[in-house]
A and B are shown apart, each in its own frame.
Chain A
Amino acid sequence: MNRKTSQSLAFWIFRVFGIIVLGILLWIIGFVVYNGIGVISWEFLTTAPTDGMTAGGIMPAIVGTMCLVLGSMIFAFPLGVMSAIYTQEYAGNGFVVKFIRVMTNNLAGIPSIVFGLFGMALFVNTLGFGDSILAGSLTLGILVLPLVIRTTEEALKSVPQSFRSGSLALGATKLQTTRKVVLPMAFPNIITGLILSIGRVSGETAPILFTVAAYFLPKLPNSIFDQVMALPYHLYVIATTGKDIEASRPIAYGTALVLIAIVLIMNILATMLRRHFGKKVKTG
């Protein structure tokens, strides 16, 4: 085979691979959207499940997931941002930062079910929160910390060094520089990280299995010590263990669609933000 033909053959194969991957994505999304779109209605989104979860809506699960997203972000977002500010702006480039980075990478690599085990041992049992929004949110918060830290670090890195030097030269302190110059410029990208984290948290199942998720609980939570239903766990339950799996299939499709929609919207939002402000920083 001459080298020109082997090149075009190889390139064709890679192109086909690219199409395959795109095809897989479209297949999965298409499958969920095609089967789920008919189920989605105002009623589906605003009522509780009935008839052994073969009819009715998924409102408690939506509310539950919102509680968990909110709870985990209240915990993880400030902590993660502060941690990133420390490593990026304060700590220099010594051993400590390297160590912290390795730890953050390791934390990111830990399987989500291990977070579930940990959350159960620490928050549910040792601290005595029981199966509750509090325990679930803290577990999810720790899980998503590396993502918050990493995206914030990237955001801070993208601020040109000259801006910091300029501010410091004018007599501003380090904190003033960080607060008035670096953070405002990095802000859009930090928010992008926040949005991606929300997408991640809303889809996680394994960490909430034993820390908060309720099999069936039509009423809404009153306090942070209540259990809640959650979208991903609800999908797992009605897809595998329901009373009548066939009858609850449409609900499962609808739930999957809502989940995918959340992730899709979050990703699109993040991409748009990144593109919009990415241009601005370059020209500015």
Chain B
Amino acid sequence: MKKLRKILERVIEAMLTVSGAVTSIAILLIVAFLFREGLGLFKSPTVERGYAVYVNSANPVQSLLPWQLKEIFDFQIENWNELGGPDEEIRVFRFNEIFSLYTDEQLDADNDYALLPERLAEVIAANPAIIAYLPQRYAPVEDESVKTVQTGTITMAQFFLGRKWMPTAKPAAQFGVLPLVLGTLMVSFMAILIALPLGLGVAIYMSELASERVRRLLKPAIELLAGIPSVVYGFFGLVVLVPLVQRTFNLDVGETAFTGSLILAIMALPTIITVAEDAMRNTPRAMREASLAMGATDWQTIYRVVIPYSLSGISAAVVLGIGRAIGETMAVLMVTGNAAVMPHTLFEPVRTIPATIAAELGEAASGSSHYQALFMLGCILFVITLIVSITAEAISKRKHEVGV
């Protein structure tokens, strides 16, 4: 009986030990799955799977970059000499055009379009300046007159330095994260700029000035502010702040980066207040009393003693607030207008990284390069928040070394 009990105890203790590692396991899993899907992006072809780009063999151009492909098919690049080819106007050929050039009989429509590859080859052979974007299923046979253009895979440089986010552009989707990163940073830093003075003021008020009764009123209020779901903030922003911003600044649309900053500022407040207040409360009583005994006023004590002493805690509050703002999804998605273009001012629509994932993942086919690009965005977010957590930790650790 006693022995059985001892075994049972060992078993339970083993279970406790295992569950102790649960958060570490969760993080490992998140890293594994995020990066497995995300890094797949850099192995994906630039053009959609199952498609390829063909030119006439006389054309000296061997390979094209994604942005070149996009501009060719958008008629922004119109001459081969811009791409190192002959001085000839580019003839863009889309797959559907074949059906207006040939009749169904000529394509052998009854027999699963058996003659389609041949006809496509004829078209390409006939025009040395042609570029054709075609499904490989009906690909023309490569011979002396038809060749495939190398389009390569998506590179890290294109992803991280690209200035265009057009994930559904044909034939080459553009996955440049720069506009999204800038949008995220712009909205988040503006939010902290708004929230910081307000949050610090309230933290000082709560830790130094407020009576116990006022504290007992403010503390749950701030907890509640932290507890309101982000989608409710988004709804509030959409119905109240968006029209307000539009009217106040006389804009065409109220869904701007600034509106997002406002709502994020409110959402970051509880983090900033709680962390900063904690730091200030930890200022040793002896330090305050020494300052007061020297004849300093309460206010002088606060800004000459308490604030410098708790500076590391306050910095941690700022860092955590930024982290909260950068990762916030729903509220930002609902109020910033979601235009994935390079932002210039605060008063135009922007698109942040989390909002992009939320808005587009539903439409991205599992395993497609769009899907992988969204996971790569998730990886970026993950790395940013990891840096934020570690920084905040390091900053608040420094306090203990200096302080005591």
Contact = CB atoms under 8 A, between A and B. Distances in A.
B350 to A, nearest CB: 17
Contacts of B320: 109
B227 A100 contact: no
Interface stretch (A55-63, A66-74, A85-93, A155-163): A85-93
Given A13-B201, A86-B16, A111-B385, A106 B231 contact: no
A28 B230 CA distance: 12
A contacts with B: majority SS: helix
18 contacts: A7-B298, A25-B224, A83-B21, A90-B16, A96-B20, A100-B23, A107-B26, A109-B323, A111-B326, A111-B381, A112-B230, A114-B382, A118-B29, A203-B231, A204-B229, A206-B354, A236-B234, A236-B334
B246 to A, nearest CB: 16
Interface in A77-132: 79-80, 82-83, 85-87, 90-91, 96, 99-100, 102-107, 109-118, 120-122, 125-126
A60 B36 CA distance: 35
B329 A17 contact: no
B202 interface: yes
A196 to B, nearest CB: 8
A46 interface: no
A187 interface: no
Given A111-B385, A120-B361, A121-B33, A18 B17 contact: no
Contact of B33 (A18, A24, A122): A122
Interface of A: 3-4, 6-7, 10-11, 13-15, 17-18, 20-22, 24-25, 28-29, 31-32, 79-80, 82-83, 85-87, 90-91, 96, 99-100, 102-107, 109-118, 120-122, 125-126, 142, 145-146, 149, 173-175, 196, 199-200, 202-206, 209-210, 232-233, 235-236, 239-240, 249, 252, 256, 259-260, 263-264, 266-267, 271
A27 to B, nearest CB: 8
B51 interface: no
Interface in B201-235: 201-202, 204-206, 209-210, 214, 217-218, 220-225, 227-235
A113 B358 contact: yes
A110 B327 contact: yes
Nearest to A15: B205
B389 interface: yes
B139 interface: no
A256 B327 contact: no
Interface residues of B, number: 85
B375 interface: yes
Q: Most A CB atoms within 10 A — which of B228, B234, B236?
A: B228
B63 interface: no
Nearest to A88: B20
B57 to A, nearest CB: 42
A22 B389 CA distance: 28
A31 B201 contact: no
Nearest to B356: A113
Given A117-B378, A118-B378, 5 more contacts: A31-B236, A86-B16, A118-B29, A204-B229, A206-B329
B34 A114 contact: yes
B205 A14 contact: yes
A21 B273 contact: yes
A240 to B, nearest CB: 6
Contacts of B330: 205-206, 232, 236
B328 A111 contact: yes
Contacts of A117: 34, 37, 357, 361, 374-375, 378
Contacts of A121: 33-34, 36-37, 375
B293 interface: no
Contacts of B297: 3-4, 7
A271 B19 contact: no
Contacts of B21: 83, 100
